[in-house]
Amino acid sequence: MQFFSSDFKLGILGGGQLGKMMLYETRKWDIYTKVMDVSPEAPCKIACNEFAEGSLMDFDAVYNFGKDVDVLTIEIENVNVDALEKLEHEGITVYPPTKTLRTIQNKATQKLFYTDHGIPTAPFTRFAYTSEIEDSISNGGLQLPFIWKSAQFGYDGQGVKVVRKIDDLTDLPNVECIAEKMIDFKNELAVIVARSSQGEVKTYPVVEMEFHPEANQVEYVICPARIDDAVAQKAKAVALKVSEHMKHVGLLAVELFQTKNNEILVNEVAPRPHNSGHYSIEASYTNQFEQHIRAILGLPLGKTDSKVAGIMVNLVGEEGHTGDVVYQNIESILEMKGVTPHIYGKKQTRPFRKMGHVTIVDEDMARAREVAQKVKETIKVVTNI
């Protein structure tokens, strides 16, 4: 099939920043794109060939959108899989495959998948409703503290809470969920695995993630991770095992814990380009968005090595600021060497909303980390007040 400057049509479900960055690559290669998002202000709208407004969870909207594309992919997991399944049965190529997506969409199903396939993960208990947890604690079936995770529709720190005492359960939604043992880890790592429709597989270098203590969001992604080579090899091996059993096509971002005694446990996965791979736009030979396009179209995968050390800083809305966004001191960070801001195109900010990211590249990792700290302290995502 001829993908470039042709009648071929790539459909993308979700019009957020991941889709927008994917579209940099489709425009580079003149691949015709059609995108659907619920918001008429979606960041993707300016960069795709066709834009459809519709809910990603609505069966008819997803089905009708997908009927006239050749390949359909996603930039967010929260989509109507029943509609995708029908499209798949009718001959539309859907990547990641719906079977993979079903497993990943539900955190309880995802965790059971790991235990069924001998993939190391934190011990957990599954509950049909949050209201069942209190009984389990009083019966001695569950020990405090633990991590509560909503089985569905959690992302970016939403649907996740540390439960240290019974009272912490009070405001949680009464939904299907898991209670996961808190792991005493020394590092949170991630490995992105690319798998093409032709079966070619490549991994990106292991990255290290530093989290915001309150928002449960990544603040810094550091590539390469500052870990021993033996740990890095173990992390890659675990990520490849997950990829092999998931049988995804496209990217699979595998988030991992490195425990105090250097065991590697899978936290969760995302079957799409991921926050942990944004550094690759400036630092890698083939960035993650181009790689996803290569993989789903069955093109040869690109080189995943880094050219230089890369650090990514997330730009999120400041606390106490909701409304029209202002990027304070952006000129100051542009004066710094090796610094590239990416603004996602969301006009409205709110506390902890992802509004952009900044990449810092340098031959020297320690220097890159210093600059990243300076960037973090300098630029502020605020409103005019």
Specify the pLDDT at position 191.
98
* Confidence band for 68, pLDDT divided at 50, 70 and 90: very high
Distances in whole angstroms, Cα of residue 324 to Cα of each of 32, 321, 346, 353: 32, 9, 9, 13
Least confident of 29-43, 132-146, 242-256, 316-330: 132-146
Average pLDDT over residues 191-209: 97
pTM to 2 decimals? 0.94
Say if residue 212's pLDDT is above 80: no
Specify the pLDDT at position 159.
87
Distances in whole angstroms, Cα of residue 142 to Cα of each of 82, 115, 145, 185: 34, 19, 9, 20
d(Cα 79, Cα 65) in Å, to the nearest integer? Answer: 12
d(Cα 254, Cα 250) in Å, to the nearest integer? Answer: 13
Least confident of 157-166, 197-206, 271-280, 362-371: 157-166
* Confidence band for 216, pLDDT divided at 50, 70 and 90: low
Specify the pLDDT at position 130.
93
Least confident of 6-15, 26-35, 50-59, 213-222: 213-222
Average pLDDT over residues 236-240: 98
Specify the pLDDT at position 1.
78
d(Cα 11, Cα 32) in Å, to the nearest integer? Answer: 9
Specify the 3-state DSSP secondary structure of 12: strand
Give one DSSP letter per residue of 54-99, joined into a string.
--TT-HHHHHHHHTT-SEEEESSS-S-HHHHHHHHHTT-EESS-HH
pLDDT digits (tens, 9 = 90+) for 120-149: 999 999 999 999 999 999 988 899 999 999
Specify the pLDDT at position 155.
61
Surface-to-core class of residue 308, CB atoms within 10 Å of its CB (0-12 exposed, 13-18 middle, 19+ buried): middle
Percentage of the chain exceeding pLDDT 90 = 91
The strand pairing partners of 33, in sequence order, are 10
Average pLDDT over residues 313-328: 95
Specify the pLDDT at position 211.
80
| CA-CA-CA-CA dihedral for 6, 9, 14, 20, to nearest 10 | 0
Say if residue 206's pLDDT is above 90: yes
Specify the pLDDT at position 210.
86
pLDDT digits (tens, 9 = 90+) for 257-269: 999 999 999 999 9
pLDDT digits (tens, 9 = 90+) for 321-340: 999 999 999 999 999 999 99
Specify the pLDDT at position 171.
87
- Mean pLDDT (the chain, rounded): 95
* Confidence band for 215, pLDDT divided at 50, 70 and 90: low
Average pLDDT over residues 70-92: 97
Specify the pLDDT at position 145.
94
Specify the pLDDT at position 156.
57
Average pLDDT over residues 19-26: 98
Q: b or e along 340-373 (b: 16 or more beta carbons within 10 Å of the residue's beta carbon)?
A: ebbbbbbeebbebbbbbbbbbbbeebeebbebbe
